[in-house]
A and B are shown apart, each in its own frame.
Chain A
Amino acid sequence: MTRVIHKFTRNVPQWQPRVTPVDLKEATKEQLEALQVTPSNTKVSDYVLVLAHDVEALKARSPLFNAIMYDGGGMSRAERELGAIAASMVNRCIYCAAVHASRHAELAKSTEATDQIFTAGENAKLKSRDKAIFDFARKLSECPPQANESDVSILRAAGLTHAEILDLVLSTSLFGWANRLMHVLGDPVRKE
């Protein structure tokens, strides 16, 4: 009886760790600080409790994640999510793809783009700007990265500014990181 999900979906699964999460009762002072555990806030996800095993990396990553995905200016929130989705599909991180496809649908107020992406992958029929973004992010996410100057020219022709392209590079690269934690350290499973 397997509850593990193998297909891309916008329904956010549960994340089941493959390693034992840090036990809050045994957490160090530094771990508790990084987890922002207070007497009134003692609910911490298994994912964050797993990452607390490497508390220095966790402390460094959280502000970086927020800056890349949420800081103002540059690329729109929805388009940053598109970079995250492309990376998550290349790395087959079902959980990350679900979270960020559902956010994209909310921000774009439409499920059209993510329906297309999940159905047709690299052949998805998207508006030219979304297509340029998705293709660039997909290629940058490969190992070794496959994006080249002509992909950047396509982004420029689709109307992206330098600031937007930089943000796309950052959000896509960030999910090269996130996917290698989420997809490697746990399984996406159907909620009980």
Chain B
Amino acid sequence: MRVLLALDESTQAMDEAVRLCRERGAALTALFVLDGNWSDYTGHDWLSGSTVRGAYIEYAGQEDIKDSERLAAELRARAGDLPLEVKLANGVVREEILKEAETGGYDLLVMAHPFWRGTATVRDTARDLLGKLPCSLLLVKTPPHDI
């Protein structure tokens, strides 16, 4: 059995993926998507100069890289000796998750709900993926961020 975990801030989803993999002797792959959707998401913003937009997109990218390292370390600490591979992708979050699920031969995708990741935060990512995934989907209820 192969399990794919879509990485976001949810430690609940991490724990659930680790528990499932331990119980079933499955291999765990985690995917962190560097959000490449900012250009489209700020498409209404006609008055920012390219420097301002560029600076923001670069800033968001740097924050994403920091998050990817922090969350991968968090997952490794929780996974312990469980075999784990952490992959990075760049693009629209839901599309990259779907692409990995389609090409990786996974049996199960584990993700938090709501899913807290860049511009995907303002989408119902699980609903976007439903009906398109080639594998089962386990949604782990996660308390919304208190911001």
Q: Is this pair of chains taken from one and the same complex?
A: no
Binding site for A on B (CB under 8 A): none
Binding site for B on A (CB under 8 A): none
